[in-house]
Structures are given as structure tokens and as C-alpha cells.
Amino acid sequence: MRRMPDQSLRIDHARYVVTVDAQRRIIADGSVLVENGRISRVGKASELGGARADRVIDARHFVVTPGFVNGHMHISYAHAVRGIFPDDVGSPLDSVFKLQMAMTEEEEYLTSLLGIVELVKNGTVCFVDPGSTKFPDACLQAYADAGIRVIMGDCVTDREAPFPLPRYPAAEAIGRTATFLDKWHGRLDGRLRAWAMPFSADTCTADLLRALKRLADERRTSLTLHHNSGDKARQEYQAKHGRRPTEYLESLGVVGPNVVLAHVLGIDDAEIDCMARTGTTAAMCPVTAAKGGRGVRENGRLPELLAKGVKVALGCDSPNNSNHLDIVRALNMAAIQYKDARQDMRQIPAETALELATLTGAQALGVGDEIGSLEPGKKADLVLFDTERPEWQALFNPVNNLVYNADGRSVHTVIIDGRVIVDGYRQTFVDESRLYGRVQEVGERLLARTGVSFSRSRWPIV
């Protein structure tokens, strides 16, 4: 299905428009005018009242925010088998990659479609799939139908890994990445971006990492990889490379404003300085960190990263890690987990959390000039929250209510590139109930085929 943007759209008399503009204005009784896929005016409803529009959305019960970005969101296999890992499984990665590698083209299309439905219905307009999609040709239709912005890549490694990852000789990995970037970058009217995606520094040789960064630079695109540190990793890297993990990347030149390090748990002050000095950005997954018992008190450095000016996006990681795809819940976690970990309520205020999912996150992903705030000239990516719900009462401070009371369930309308993608809680690009049934079948088949098996429940299912 191809949808043309409404020629013009006026969001009228919003209870609040949270602009995240340079002054961080929150406009009470505000309106937003969208023309040809871009925001043309933002202001008081009284100022925009006369502006002509093909469609007018009565927003008097809505809080309007920029569309959300999700900086690390594996959407391939996991919806089909979500929730299978018991809490005491330890690392599920061996099973994760076994399941992922076993997906057929049609299965991946269906699970990706479901992932996208969940993402957009919770307000995400742009996400990074860190190389988990095996069949981008098949999934392209899902991205096109949903109208969402997708950043994708071909996950490559050229070293032995503790779990089954796509591994190629370095030259082949470089060739695949070059082909991928040339084929995909800029498609879907620019909504699709392709990045270089080595899995991690541990699973790739120095030569491969250097070559992929060079490719990203030459093609004017970005690179992301999984990256953590911590005492043990620092000792190992010191012994092997004479440097900390993040400094090792710097020594290879795999840093800079077009490098997004995912997770970044356990990094120390010198590593944060390295990121700040080089403009390297991060995508952190607060719910994954909490659910995985990753020790935010010791290993979470989000406040220090932000204090040094490092741009950070939030991610939901995977439907078997966080396990939801609701960025509003992720920003809630980012706001509350540091307060607890540091026993200091001043850590990560609600406004900072909201910035991570909007402007700061967009900047971290290199799309801050286009999206992330509601300002004239930016792409028209907006979320309209329905405040006619109990969790939004009473409404005095829309940012506090959004971050601490609400979640993605109050997302009423989502607009991407000026197109209304979710309209009155409903998307129109797929029959959801039929899709749920098919994804359940995919899950049953996939478990049977791979032999991955866990007890379905600790409690008896009778």
C-alpha cells in the first residue's frame, strides 16, 4: 500500500505541545501546521487558527510530542518466541542466535511486521535494527507499508564468537557491507538508512573494524556495534591491547560522531572522556540493563555521559530482553533507575529522559537535523497522547505525567513524514488479529525446528 501524505494537516488546540525546541517551550493550547510532510508552523492555536489545512485534528485532549527514536531495537526473531526464557536462564544468547539464524524469509517478514506494529503504536517513528534482519528484501514491504523510519545493516563478524553469529572472511564482510550500503541507503524517500554493523569489537578483527568505519565515512553514513566495558573487560583489553576497550576503538579510528556504541555499560571516566572528545554517541537500553541484572549502580554511567555532552539515545533492545517495544516505558526506566542506584532524586530528571527519546536521541543517531523536535522545517513526525485516560489525571505538568504516569498505551495518533500512521489507536497497514495468529504459529514451528526448549511455565498450566 502506498500512502501519500495529506497535503496539509493542522493539529488544532492541543492541550499542550511539548516542542523540545531550543527554548524547550511547552505551548498550552497549541497548534502545529504540517505541509508537504514537514512542520511549517508551531504556535498558539490563536495564531494558527486561520491556517488552511486539508485535514484538521481536534487535539484539545491531546499532549503532542515529537516522534520517538529507538536507538537499539532488534526486531527479527523474538516476537515469535517472546517470553520463553525463564528468569533464571542466565545468558539466553546461544538460544537467541540459534533461533534468529533459523528464521525463514516469510517468518522474518511476519515477526518484523509485528515488531513494527508494536513500535509505531507506542510512538516510535525511527528505530535502529542492529543487523538482526536477515532478509531485508522481504522486510522492505513491512517498512514501506508502515511508513516508519528504519536504520538497518548487515551484521558481520570475522572472528570466533561464543554464540552463532554471521561470520565471514574479512574481505567478504567488507564486500557485503559495501553492497548493503549501496543498495539500501536512502530508500523509501530517505526513511531507510543503511549503516555498517559489525557485531562487536570482540567478534571482529581490527582490520575489519577499520575497513567498515572507512566505508561508513566514505558513504557518509554511520556505524554501530555492541560495546560494553567494566573491570574484567578493561583488564583483558589492557593485557591484549594495552588500552581500555573504548580506547582500543579509538586506536583503530572506530570512534566519531557517526559511531553509535550500544549499551556502553561499565565504561569508566577515561572511556567517557574518549567518547566526549571524539563525538562518539551511545544507545543505552535501560530496561534490558535492569531486567538483566547488569548493575546500574556500578555500570550505568548515563548521567556522566550526558554531563560530558555525549549524545545518547535509548533502545528497547529485543522482545526477549526488555521485553517490550515501548519507548515510553524505557524513558521511565531511565528516569527512575538512576535515582535509585545513586540514591539521589536529582538524577535524570523527567525532561532529560524525554530528550533522550526525542532530540538528544535523534542527534545520537545522526538524524537530529530532521526529527526529534517540533520546529518549522523539520520532518513532520509527531505523537499525540490521549489525556482522556486515568493515568493522565490530573494534568499540570505534561512532561512529568508522560514520563512517570503514562506509557505507550495512551498513544492515540502517530504521524511520520506528514502521514497519519496510527489514527485513533488504529493502524491500517495490517490485519493485527490475523498477524498475531500467524506469528504464534511461527513461534511453535521455530521452537520445534531448532530444538530450543524451555519449560513453558514455573506454574502448572493445566
Contacts of Zn ion in 127-156 (CB under 5 A): 130
| Closer residue to Zn ion (CB): 112 or 352 | 112
> CB of 188: closest distance to Zn ion in angstroms?
23
- The CA–CA distances, whole Å, from 402 to 299, 307, 329, 358, 456 equal 27, 23, 10, 13, 35
> CB of 423: closest distance to Zn ion in angstroms?
32
Pairing label, strands 411-416, 419-423: antiparallel
Residue 147's contacts (CB-CB under 8 Å, 6 or more residues apart) are 3, 191, 416, 417, 419, 421, 429
| Closer residue to Zn ion (CB): 45 or 364 | 364
| Closer residue to Zn ion (CB): 284 or 446 | 284
> CB of 199: closest distance to Zn ion in angstroms?
8
> CB of 111: closest distance to Zn ion in angstroms?
16
- The residues with which 413 forms a beta bridge, in sequence order, are 384
Contacts of Zn ion in 101-130 (CB under 5 A): 130
> CB of 150: closest distance to Zn ion in angstroms?
15
> CB of 401: closest distance to Zn ion in angstroms?
31
Does position 166 interact with Zn ion (CB under 5 A)? The reply is no
Residue with nearest beta carbon to Zn ion: 130
| Closer residue to Zn ion (CB): 69 or 384 | 69
- The residues with which 331 forms a beta bridge, in sequence order, are none
CB 193 within 8 A of CB 229: no
Query: What's the rounded Cα separation, in Å, for the pair 245 and 266?
Result: 10
Query: What's the rounded Cα separation, in Å, for the pair 370 and 357?
Result: 14
CB 8 within 8 A of CB 52: yes
| Closer residue to Zn ion (CB): 59 or 285 | 285
How many chain residues interact with Zn ion (CB under 5 A)?
1
| Closer residue to Zn ion (CB): 185 or 263 | 263
- The CA–CA distances, whole Å, from 298 to 48, 225, 226, 235, 314 equal 50, 22, 19, 17, 19
b/e map 353-369, b = 16+ CB within 10 Å:
bbbbbbbbbbbbbbbbe
> CB of 283: closest distance to Zn ion in angstroms?
9
| Closer residue to Zn ion (CB): 26 or 260 | 260
Bond preceding residue 320 cis, omega within 30 of 0: no
* Footprint on this chain of Zn ion (rule: CB under 5 A): 130
